[in-house]
A = this chain, B = another copy of it.
Amino acid sequence: MRFRLTLAHLGAPFAGWQRQPNAPTVQATLEEALAKLAGIPVATVAAGRTDAGVHARGQVVHLDLDRPLPAAALVHGLNHHLPASVRILAAAPATDGFHARYSATAREYRYRIVRARVVDPFRAPFAWQLDGSLALDAIRSATALLVGRHDFAAFALAGGAHRTSVRTLLHAAWEEDDDELALRLVGDGFLRGMVRGLVGTLIEVGQGRREPASIAALLAGEARAAAGPTAPAHGLCLERVCYPAALGGPEWEAGARPDRRSGALC
């Protein structure tokens, strides 16, 4: 019986989602809690294989259990065994054919920047601290060029094991709130390090060190070295994953207004 979990976790304690030797990962932590609950090893598959230090508010995971279990027992049983840095927010039996990674139609990421010389300890773990002026109009023009179907190889880190570097960006917009700036990206998929490569490059545009139009050349096949640096991991959060309505949704809607608390678009 396949279950679908929605999971939130802090980035700092983990070397990313994917299990690896000699480093604490979200997958290993979750599978350890699952083994305690189920009494046998249980494998998990996540929608987004987040990098070390990246946070998640709405990671989606599937797993198969031999025997049926009430969804509430799965939520509270797992949370009992998990550290406080990982929480199962929801669980439900998966629709037939549901696969957390392959069924996903859209992933939504948010990258937070605080523009201040001093950042309080409540926000510092969740935002890139960036002092100095930024030309927001230039950043916005450059960002608009990213939307659509493109080869994003110039923004990706090596090691992602992707078959193709072509992805469709469905939505890309900056939100400003007092001294905070956040980039919300929704795409059908993201290459390894792609969001942070995009942010590092767009910030170069804002700092006047790169023309907005240079984005077009990067999308036309330039090398990684031609793009900007990879922005720090702790500013990034996987906010939400979308699925077709037939597989339980939530679907992504281009015109949908962000949810008040999470700000998520789907």
Which residues of A are in contact with B by a Cβ distance under 8 Å? 8-10, 55, 57, 75-76, 79, 84-89, 117-122, 124-126, 178, 260-261
Whether A261 pairs with B178 at a CB distance below 8 angstroms is yes
Write out the residue numbers on chain B whose beta carbons fall within 8 Å of the beta carbon of A122. Answer: 8, 10, 55, 57, 126
The quantity of this chain's copies bound in the complex is: 2
Whether A88 pairs with B9 at a CB distance below 8 angstroms is no
Write out the residue numbers on chain B whose beta carbons fall within 8 Å of the beta carbon of A57. Answer: 120, 122
Give bound CA distance, A120 to B124, whole Å.
18
Write out the residue numbers on chain B whose beta carbons fall within 8 Å of the beta carbon of A117. Answer: 76
Whether B121 pairs with A10 at a CB distance below 8 angstroms is yes
Q: Return A83 CB to nearest CB of chain B, in Å.
A: 9
Give bound CA distance, A155 to B86, whole Å.
35
Write out the residue numbers on chain B whose beta carbons fall within 8 Å of the beta carbon of A125. Answer: 84
**From A82, which residue of chain B is reached at the shortest CB distance?**
B121
Write out the residue numbers on chain B whose beta carbons fall within 8 Å of the beta carbon of A124. Answer: 84, 87
- Of A8, A75, A120, A124, chain B has the most CB atoms within 10 Å of the CB of A120
Write out the residue numbers on chain B whose beta carbons fall within 8 Å of the beta carbon of A55. Answer: 122
Give bound CA distance, A125 to B85, whole Å.
10
Q: Return A113 CB to nearest CB of chain B, in Å.
A: 15
Q: Return A31 CB to nearest CB of chain B, in Å.
A: 18
Across the interface, A87 reaches (CB within 8 A) one of B75, B79, B119, namely B119
**From A86, which residue of chain B is reached at the shortest CB distance?**
B121
Write out the residue numbers on chain B whose beta carbons fall within 8 Å of the beta carbon of A178. Answer: 260-261
Give bound CA distance, A254 to B238, whole Å.
41
